[in-house]
Amino acid sequence: MSLNELSEKVDITLSNLSILKTGKAKAVRFSTLEAICKALDCQPGDILEYRP
């Protein structure tokens, strides 16, 4: 799935999705995380990584 397709399904801008993808985001809303997981049929742990 392209970033354009995902941004449309999740209903966030392409630039905000790119910020999340590159790890530059300071936070993510639970509603956004939920929408991404629904669109990708995955769990939050599949797309999140902890970095100290």
Q: What is the pLDDT of residue 49?
A: 85
Q: What is the pLDDT of residue 15?
A: 94
CA-to-CA distance for 1 and 50, rounded, in angstroms? 24
pTM for this structure? 0.84
Q: What is the pLDDT of residue 50?
A: 84
Where does 11-52 have alpha helices with state H?
A: 14-22, 30-40, 44-47
Q: What is the pLDDT of residue 8?
A: 94
Per residue in 2-52, pLDDT (tens digit) is: 999 999 999 999 999 999 989 899 999 999 999 999 999 999 999 988 888
To which residue do tokens 């630039």 refer?
A: 15
Paired tokens of 51: 């970095």
Backbone φ, ψ for residue 49 (5° rounding)? -140, 135
**Amino acid occupying residue 18:** S
